[in-house]
Amino acid sequence: MFQLHPQLAKDCIEVGDFSLSKVLLVNDCYYPWVILVPKREDVEEIYELSVPDQQQLLVESSGVSAAMAVHFSADKMNVAALGNLVPQLHIHHIVRYKSDVAWPKPVWGVTNAAVYSEEKLVDQLHLLQKILLPLGIK
């Protein structure tokens, strides 16, 4: 049975679900940042997914990237599956701006996360649900 890694559960807020992936918002207001986690047990790498699941993950990831890039007017989308600290397969989708605190470096280790206020968190969750609705988020 699929279970979300405890670190992802601690650092993120659930936005919804696609057919394959759980959609999470990273609780860091410096960046619009979504993580997709395929709802498959004991998977650490993309190649461990079945071919149909790999294809569905690409569809979901590309859709999230495009929707976020357009809505947030990204200078660049950073999309990556790293897993060095959290082994469960998860794909980061981070909107980057030339003016952000970490540009042009990776976002990790530059500054501590700035968590959303309760009001901003609710707004961001509703916004993400709205822009991802055409992609089939539930």
Strand order in the sheet with 21-26: 12-17, 21-26, 33-38, 91-96, 76-80
Give me the phi and psi of 123, to 5 degrees please. Answer: -60, -45
Give me the phi and psi of 108, to 5 degrees please. Answer: -75, 135
pLDDT single digits (tens) 110-136: 888 999 999 999 999 999 999 999 999
**Model's pTM, two decimal places?**
0.96
The secondary structure of the chain in percent helix, strand, coil, rounded to multiples of 5, reads 35, 20, 45
pLDDT single digits (tens) 78-117: 999 999 999 999 999 999 999 999 999 999 888 889 999 9
**Domains in the chain, please, with CATH?**
6-135 (3.30.428.10)
Cα angle value 116/133/119 (rounded, 5°): 20
Would you state the pLDDT for residue 45? 98
Cα angle value 16/132/94 (rounded, 5°): 90
Please, where are the H alpha helices in the chain? 6-11, 51-71, 118-132
